[in-house]
Amino acid sequence: MKQILNHSSPKHWLLTSALGLLMIAPAAAQEEKPSLAEEMKACASISNAIERLVCFDDLVAALPTVTAEAADRGARGNAETRGKERAAEATSSALSARERAAQERAAAAERRAAEAEERLMQQQAEQRRAAAEAERRNAEAARNQPPSDKTYITINEAWQNARGLWRFRLDNGQEWHQTSSEGGVRYREGMNYYIEPGSFGSYFLSSDDNNRRMRIRLVD
């Protein structure tokens, strides 16, 4: 006949309590892992020298794994830092290169503009010189060209030579000389005079106030 176990017996209660403690102990150990300092204190509290040495050896054996992991994390962190620094340096170098290139392009553009302005100024100066030379030649030609019809003149200077013949210098630079002492208009300062061509290349000086005239010639 089988013996029925009484659940309320002291043996059953002790067995249940022991099982409960066994289940709680690992969870508590996982939740509260002692620190290295606490483990070292625990090893130091061991009275047996051999057991104490074994305890410390176990702690030291566990240290390389932690140190290697920390070193690996530190190495990765240093590598990331160096990578960021190199990236920043590369970005700065690229920006500096672009800035230098932009400055060089701006300087080249300024040089080209200055050269173009200098060429323009030279061309303008050459044009002014050419215009001045053309004006001088025209004035020279006009000065050496007698009038083709009746032309009023402005006499700047008038004088007589030793023979009493008149000499006239006009405002355009022409110089006219009286060619003969035969009767003609008498020069008086302040009157309006004109030169009129005659026949066979002759020229005469006359005035509106007098119908007489003086034969003259253009001096080269």
pLDDT, averaged across the chain: 81
* Region of poorest pLDDT, from 7-11, 184-188, 200-204: 7-11
Tens-place pLDDT, residues 79-102: 788 888 888 888 877 878 888 888
State the pLDDT confidence band at 11, using cuts at 50, 70 and 90: low
Cα(21)–Cα(30) distance, integer angstroms: 14
Give me the phi and psi of 152, to 5 degrees please.
-75, 145
pTM higher than 0.95:
no
Give the residue from 166, 172, 106, 181 showing the smallest Cα distance to 142: 172
What is the DSSP code (8-state) at residue 137?
H
Cα(56)–Cα(54) distance, integer angstroms: 5
Q: How many residues appear in the chain?
A: 220
Tens-place pLDDT, residues 20-73: 555 655 555 455 677 878 888 888 899 888 888 888 888 788 775 545 565 667
